[in-house]
Structure 1
Amino acid sequence: MRPPSTRRQFLASTGLTTLAVTAGCVSSSSSNPADNGTEAASSTPTETATTASTPESLDDWLDDANGYDGEARRFGPESRPTVMVGQEKDGGLAFDPPVIEVPPMTLVRWDWTGHGGQQNVVALDGTFDSGRTNAQSGTGYHYFFEETGEYRYVSEPHRDDGMKGTVIVKEPPTSGNATVDEWLAPASNFGGTITDRTDTDTTTVTVGVKGNGGQFAFGPPALKVSTGTTVVWEWTGDGGPHNIVSKGDGPLDTELVTESDSVHEYTFEETGTYLYSCKPHESIGMRGAIVVE
């Protein structure tokens, strides 16, 4: 795997200000950025993090990563993911989320919380390196990921205490239905399959199944049904209140529901692709699609 071009690496200055990516690597003029909160870049990867003894398995690598629950947070095309540096998780400091999955050509940002003292962001393979450590809230670092691969990184002062992260760069799953694929790209439980229920008069979607960092998914996320099919949504009661709202002018619009065993049903009489979401959790990937043939 050839690492992405370091021409696209860029460091944000102090303050939560969104900055455009520019070519090259920018350094602070301060001799000690940790003192004044200004982050400095380093075009030379830090040797401490760049070791050859990393585990082959990503699961092994993340086994002691603070805040990792076994699932990557997925982001779709055109997204701008942000990872918080120094969140308090599992009794230690963490990257939040610790593992993200993004498509190629995605800009990822790391923002310092100011918790836990000096921290940095350093890839094990030397692909990216935020430079000297910094402790000030508002410090930010950007990196533009161009090529697919798994990019493991650490905060060097807290590596042995479980402050680890990974950026997984891969093409989004595809079902062959471009409308569905684009809508469901951020949904972590969508693997490119549209579940075929065209041979049934009634079928069920479960609201609040595991996904997207908690109980924030529809199961299954994508269905194919025939005209005249009634789809029943059943709430698990997990993940807080959820609703079902169509994207655009579709027919689905429910209130927020928390109680388990609550149901909502709708009979689809016309062909088409119907996209919907749980509005409070849409941004993290709680989305669904019904394809009516």
Structure 2
Amino acid sequence: MRPPSTRRQFLASTGLTALAVTAGCVSSGSSDPATGGGTETETATATDTATPESTPESLEAWLDDANGYDGEARRFGPESRPTVMVGEETDGGLAFDPPVIEVPPMTLVRWDWTGHGGQQNVVALDGTFDSGRTNAQSGTGYRYFFEETGEHRYVSEPHRDGGMKGAVIVKEPPSSGNSAVDEWLAAASNFDGTIADRTDTDTATVTVGAEGNGGRFAFDPPALRISTGATVRWDWTGDGGPHNIVSRGDGPLDTELVVDEGSAYEHTFEETGTYLYSCKPHESLGMRGAIVVE
């Protein structure tokens, strides 16, 4: 167990919020018979009914009219089980939610039908995966296992012209060389493998509620390197709802949920080590941080 801090200060108020994600293997089918649906069926591989087509334009240009897309991919770390909702209703029309996901190789992705908007399917433009015939039933599910890196654009064929587009980006997670940090922050969209070096100062600042992870759900910078005896100060922006700071495991960080702009929390790190933490309500979204003390 790490010793308590020599200096600790907290100013704030309270609140709450939460989110979670699930998934599934290559399959297509529908809901539990008990709810009035059919049964899900498994297939050994994705069907090859889709006709591959040329996609010369950039991914961002292609996604320009994708409903629900805000310009940021939702990132998932190793051993995650991402789920994409099919037929989510948005101001622009029906959408995949999230429209764009970034996953590491060897990840199983699941698509679940909401039942909104009539007949839909999931078809990759490069022919990699295809859920088969369209379905309008809530609870329908399709799963595909992504083994190798690549970029896969896909559509719901009946609603393609209306902007129902998505993409799966399969790439290796960012690497800083610190395996504990890399594994913990693999799901944080604003982590690019950089650990910000603050070893030359006695005080370092982290913004709470910075842009990232599909909203104001990030710590900035997500990873810091400091020297022993240095103090880290977390400053709340007031954006993204209530946030807190809680150590992973038995670490020293533990605050209340805070929403007010200008709230702050400080901790002085006296012992070397890698300290991992998160905002508990938004941890599954990727709101995570790390402090490396040298």
- TM-score, scaled to structure 2: 0.87
- Give the distance between the partners of 1:163 and 1:72, measured in 2 at CA: 16
**C-alpha contact 1:208 1:236 (8 A) present in aligned 2:** yes
- Give the distance between the partners of 1:165 and 1:80, measured in 2 at CA: 17
Bigger relative contact order, structure 1 or 2, given CA contacts below 8 A and separation 6+? 2
Residue 101 of structure 1: SS of its match in structure 2?
strand
Q: Deviations over 1:156-192 (max 9, x none)?
A: 0000110000000000000000000000000000000
Residue 62 of structure 1: SS of its match in structure 2?
helix
**C-alpha contact 2:153 2:168 (8 A) present in aligned 1:** yes
Q: Which amino acid letter does the alignment assign opposite residue 45 of structure 1?
A: T
**C-alpha contact 1:12 1:142 (8 A) present in aligned 2:** no
Is the aligned partner of 1:45 residue 2:49?
yes
- Give the distance between the partners of 1:23 and 1:160, measured in 2 at CA: 29
Query: Shift of the alpha carbon at 1:44?
Result: 2.8
Change (3 A) 1:9 1:177: same
Root mean square deviation of aligned Cα: 1.9
Q: Which amino acid letter does the alignment assign opposite residue 43 of structure 1?
A: T
The equivalences for 1:88-237 within 5 A come to 88-237=89-238
**C-alpha contact 1:45 1:127 (8 A) present in aligned 2:** no
Change (3 A) 1:155 1:20: closer
Query: Shift of the alpha carbon at 1:91?
Result: 2.7
Q: Which amino acid letter does the alignment assign opposite residue 196 of structure 1?
A: D
| Aligned position for 1:3 | none
Change (3 A) 1:151 1:118: same
Q: Which amino acid letter does the alignment assign opposite residue 143 of structure 1?
A: Y
Residue 158 of structure 1: SS of its match in structure 2?
helix
- Give the distance between the partners of 1:140 and 1:206, measured in 2 at CA: 39
Q: Which amino acid letter does the alignment assign opposite residue 9 of structure 1?
A: V
The count of residues paired between Structure 1 and Structure 2 equals 266
| Aligned position for 1:79 | 80
| Aligned position for 2:44 | 24
Q: Indicate which of 14, 27, 31 corresponds to 1:10.
A: 27
Q: Deviations over 1:243-290 (max 9, x none)?
A: 000000111000000010100000001101000000000011000000
- Give the distance between the partners of 1:195 and 1:211, measured in 2 at CA: 17
- Give the distance between the partners of 2:40 and 2:197, measured in 1 at CA: 43
Query: Shift of the alpha carbon at 1:46?
Result: 2.8
Residue 51 of structure 1: SS of its match in structure 2?
coil
**C-alpha contact 1:55 1:61 (8 A) present in aligned 2:** no
- Give the distance between the partners of 2:68 and 2:253, measured in 1 at CA: 35
- Give the distance between the partners of 1:231 and 1:269, measured in 2 at CA: 11
Unaligned runs of 5+ in 2: 1-24
**C-alpha contact 2:29 2:41 (8 A) present in aligned 1:** no
- Give the distance between the partners of 1:258 and 1:20, measured in 2 at CA: 43
Residue 283 of structure 1: SS of its match in structure 2?
helix
Residue 282 of structure 1: SS of its match in structure 2?
helix
